[in-house]
Structure 1
Amino acid sequence: MPLVHVYMVKGRGAEEIRQTLDTIHRVVVSTFKVPVRDRYQIVHERDPSHFIVDDTGLGISRSEKVLLIHVISRARTQAAKVEFYRAVCEALQESCGVSSDDVMLTFTTNDDEDWSFGRGRAQFLTGDL
């Protein structure tokens, strides 16, 4: 059920984008124990002049492969989030050649009443899910 927004600099091909999304989804499934078909991802491509991801003074080097991944989800444990950060960076390096320096992650947490998957129903509240 997490909704994952992936922000990136324009210029990647369709195959590279799909590989990135597939990789992130595998980590979502394994870390948060969600069903495989529980997949909601949106790619936001930006011109380099419209996409600035500095290093917050940590000495992190960014490249043109930088990704900002924003996860909107029901509450997750601190341990699950920390594991997700580690696992997604490792998987993106292995599958896509994206350095962990190029991955910034953030979470926004919401509640069951904040989700409708269609048909005008709040499926978490109605018991449909």
Structure 2
Amino acid sequence: MPFLRFDLIEGRSDAEIQRLLDVTHEVLVETLHVPSRDRYQVVHQHPKSSIVALDTGLDINRTDKLVMLQLTSRPRDKASKLEFYRVLAERLSSSCGVAPTDLMISFVINADEDWSFGMGRAQFVTGELH
């Protein structure tokens, strides 16, 4: 937890995708203080014609390196989210060649009872996880 879904335009190599996932996880651990073994990431690749990502009137130019990241999580404080946005944009730019203009992030917040990591139990509710 959190659960990360990456939507990408097809064309990246396996190594590029792995680096993107690794860097994102490192930033998640650093800024949101997630345990290092708490890693749930899924990549979906789409033909260019299947992704529309306009600029919301912000004059943001996007390329085929676009990363749309949806992060499902328990509640996080505002400062931590802002730090995550900033640090991830910096690191993906320096380590993966993803321009900050090609990074779009959305948090989806839910509650403890919305998570089951297996065994038919809600581990945050049962106290197995904190």
TM-score normalised per structure 2: 0.98
Report deviation, 1:64.
0.5
Name the count of aligned residue pairs.
Answer: 129
Once the two structures are superposed, what CA deviation does each residue of 1:58-90 show, in whole Å capped at 9, x if it has no partner? 000101100101000000001111111101100
In 1, Cα distance between the equivalents of 2:52 and 2:28? 25
CA distance in 2, matches of 1:65, 1:52: 13
Deviations 1:76-108 (A, max 9, x none): 001111111101100100110110000001000
* 2:63 is equivalent to residue 63 of structure 1: yes
> Following the alignment from structure 1 to structure 2, what is the Cα–Cα distance between the partners of residues 34 and 104?
21
State the 4+ residue runs in structure 1 displaced beyond 4 angstroms: none
Partner residue in 2 for 1:42: 42
Alignment match, 1:14: 14
**Structure 1 CA distance, aligned partners of 2:118 and 2:110?**
18
Query: Gaps (5+ residues) in structure 1?
Result: none
Shift of 1:57: 1.0
Structure 2 gap segments, 5+ residues each:
none
TM-score, length-scaled by structure 1: 0.99
State the identity %.
49
Q: Distance in 1 between matches of 2:78 and 2:25?
A: 19
Match of 2:96 in 1: 96
Q: Which residue of 2 aligns with 1:110?
A: 110
Is the partner of 1:116 in helix, strand or coil?
Answer: coil
